[in-house]
Amino acid sequence: MTPDDDGAGGVDLDRVWLGVAAAVWRREPGRIERLAARLLRSPGLARALLTTPSLLLPWLIATVVVFAAGAVAAAGTGQPVVALAAPGLAGAAVAYSYGPGLDSAWELSRTMAVSDRMVLLARVLAVFAVNALLASLASVVSPTAAGIAFGWLVPMAAVSALALAVATVAGSANTGVGAALAVWALTVIGSQSATGRLAAAVTGSALVLPYLAVAACCVAVVLHSTRTTKGTR
C-alpha cells in the first residue's frame, strides 16, 4: 500500500481526484461561458454555473416539455395549469441545482476560491430565472394565465426558497424536492377547498404576504447554513 492509498481497499484517492478534475475542467470555455466569466468576473464561477445539473440540456428539454404540455392543457381546459405547475417545477430545479451525488463539479466547488455561498446563490438565481422565463413563454398560450398576470412568481419564489433551504440543511436534493412538492400540493389543495377555485393558490392576494414571509425565512436559513468559510469546516 502506498502513502496515497486511503487504507480501505487500496484506492489511490489522488489519482481519482485528478481524474474528476480533468473530466470537469479539461474542456475549453465556450462563447456563453466566456460571456458569463466577463459578467461575473470569475472564470471559476462561470464554469460552476454552466455545470449546474438543472441547467444542462436534458433538464432544460424536460422542463420545456412539461411547460408545453401545461400550456396545451391550460388552453384546452381554461385552467392556469402552467401557473400551478411553475412553482413546483422551479422548486425541484432549484433543489437539484447543487449538491453531492448530483453535481459533477460539487467537490471541486468546495475547493474553489469562490465561496460556496456565492456559487450556490449564482446557480439558484440562474435556475429560477430560466424557469420563470420558460413559464412566462408557456403562459402566453393561455388567456387564463395571462389574466392572472405574474401572480405565480411570488409562490414560485417561496417554493423555490423552501426547496433550497431544506436541501441545504438536509444535505439532500431529494429531500428538498419532496418537501417543496408536498408543501405546494397541500397549498393548492387547501386553497381550492377554502375558495372552490383551483387557481386560488396563485391568484389569492391574501397569500402574498405569507409567501413572501416563507421566502424570506428560507433565504435566511440558507444564508445562515452557508456562512461557514472553507477554512473553518
Q: Note the pLDDT of residue 34.
A: 77
Q: Note the pLDDT of residue 206.
A: 84
Q: Which residues, at least 6 apart from 217, have a Cβ–Cβ distance to it below 8 Å?
A: 165
* 187 is a domain residue: yes
Tell which residue, 90, 218, 219, has the closest CA to residue 152: 90
Q: Compare 162 and 207 and report the one with higher pLDDT.
A: 162
* 22 is a domain residue: no
Q: How far is CA 145 from CA 75, 84, 130, in A?
A: 9, 10, 18
* 138 is a domain residue: yes
Domain around 155: 34-232
pLDDT tens digits, 176-212: 999 999 999 999 999 888 888 877 888 777 888 999 9
pLDDT tens digits, 82-111: 888 899 999 999 998 876 667 766 666 666
pLDDT band at 1 (very low <50, low <70, confident <90, very high): very low
Q: Compare 76 and 110 and report the one with higher pLDDT.
A: 76
* 18 is a domain residue: no
* 217 is a domain residue: yes
* 193 is a domain residue: yes
DSSP state of 148: T
Q: How many CB atoms lie within 10 A of CB 102?
A: 17
Q: Note the pLDDT of residue 135.
A: 87
pLDDT tens digits, 20-70: 666 665 666 667 777 777 777 777 778 777 778 888 888 899 999 998 888
% residues pLDDT > 90 (the chain): 26
Structural domains counted in the chain: 1
In angstroms, the CA 99 to CA 196 distance is: 39
Q: Compare 152 and 215 and report the one with higher pLDDT.
A: 215
Is the pLDDT reported for residue 112 higher than 70? no
Predicted TM-score (pTM) of this structure: 0.77
In angstroms, the CA 35 to CA 29 distance is: 10
User: What's the gap between Cα 195 and its chain centre?
Assistant: 30
Identify whether the C-beta of residue 19 lies closer than 8 Å to the C-beta of residue 77: no
In angstroms, the CA 153 to CA 87 distance is: 8
Where b means 16+ CB within 10 Å and e means fewer, 136-152 reads: bebbebbebbeeeeebb
Q: Which residues, at least 6 apart from 171, have a Cβ–Cβ distance to it below 8 Å?
A: 99, 100
* 178 is a domain residue: yes
Q: How far is CA 140 from CA 36, 63, 135, 185, 204, in A?
A: 29, 16, 9, 24, 21
* 45 is a domain residue: yes
In angstroms, the CA 200 to CA 135 distance is: 18
Q: Note the pLDDT of residue 23.
A: 65
The DSSP code sequence of 94-109 is HHTTS-TTT-TTHHHH
